[in-house]
Structure 1
Amino acid sequence: MLSFAGYEILEEIHESHHTIVCRGRKEGQIQTEIIKFLKTEYPTPTELAKFRHQYEIVKPLDIPGIVKPLHLENWGRGLVLTMEDAGPLSAEQLLSTQTINLETFFKIAISISHGLSKCSTDEL
């Protein structure tokens, strides 16, 4: 399991080719946060720039359904992005554990559409 100074890592949520996403909390805090690590021990300047760019684009947004980034911090030779924790399950986890009815599906789809529309309106 990864470690990040000042945080207790509770679980790994997702792993991709470039990143690892975990749920954790600051030491002494109750509220959990999502912590996104660059996976490579020696990230390239391009990888670091993309990670910073992701943070800078989303940071000023105040759109319901878009997870808010909290901090971008150095971690070894890479970076760590901390974000608010929107809930105990990702959409992938939720859908793998249960089926949803059409009404719930459409509510989720409409919510996602509104968020994407707002991003488009803001020319992101």
Structure 2
Amino acid sequence: MITLPGIAIQNKIYESSNSLVYRGIRDDGVGVVVKMLKLDYPSPQEITRYRQEYKIIRSLNLEGVVKAYNQQDYQRTLVIILEDFGGESLEKWMHKRPNIFCPMPLSTFLGLAIAVCDILG
């Protein structure tokens, strides 16, 4: 688990081949998501991509798009501090329902798909 000043990390909520994502709480009580590069020694290209990701998220001031609060160095990598909107990874959500052919009711899926399309539009 990582240690960041001013943030109490609660748990890991996602892991990919490139990133680790944690849920935490800032000292002021605000919930945050901490996303970091997984490798201890990321390449310069990976660092550049993460910096660009932060800049893009930070520039998007749209309803439905997570807010980027901060980016900071952590040991030999970077972390991005994001708004915690209480979401759950779709993969984790689906694994809670392994015996159901359709893991999401059609009405829920369509509502989510329409909202995503509106945001992307």
Kept after mapping to 1: 8 A contact 2:14/2:89: no
SS of the residue corresponding to residue 41 of structure 1 reads coil
Residue number among 97, 105, 114 corresponding to 1:110 in the alignment: 114
Pair 1:26 & 2:29 matched: no
2:104 aligned partner: 100
Task: Determine the C-alpha separation between the residues in 2 that align with 1:58 and 1:45.
Answer: 20
| Equivalent runs, 1:1-124 vs 2, <5 Å | 1-27=1-27, 29-98=28-97, 99-117=103-121
Change (3 A) 1:86 1:52: same
State the alpha-carbon separation in 2 of the partners of residues 111 and 91 from structure 1: 15
Which stretch of the first structure deviates more once superposed, 67-76 or 84-93?
A: 84-93
Whichever residue aligns with residue 107 of structure 2, its letter is E
Instruction: Quote the offset at 1:100 in angstroms.
Output: 3.0
CA–CA separation in structure 2 for the residues paired with 1:106 and 1:50:
32
**Conserved? CA contact 2:7–2:24, under 8 Å:** yes
Residue ranges of structure 1 left out of the alignment (5+ in a row):
118-124
**Per the alignment, in what secondary structure is the counterpart of residue 59 of structure 2?**
coil
Aligned length: 116
**Separation in 1, partners of 2:14, 2:105:** 25
Query: Percent identity between the aligned chains?
Result: 32
Rounded to whole Å, the distance in 2 between the matches of 1:85 and 1:100 is 23
- Alignment root-mean-square deviation, CA: 1.6
Give 5+ residue unaligned stretches, structure 2: 98-102
Alpha-carbon shift at residue 32 of structure 1 (Å): 1.1
Closer, same or farther: CA 96–65 of 1 in aligned 2, 3 Å: farther
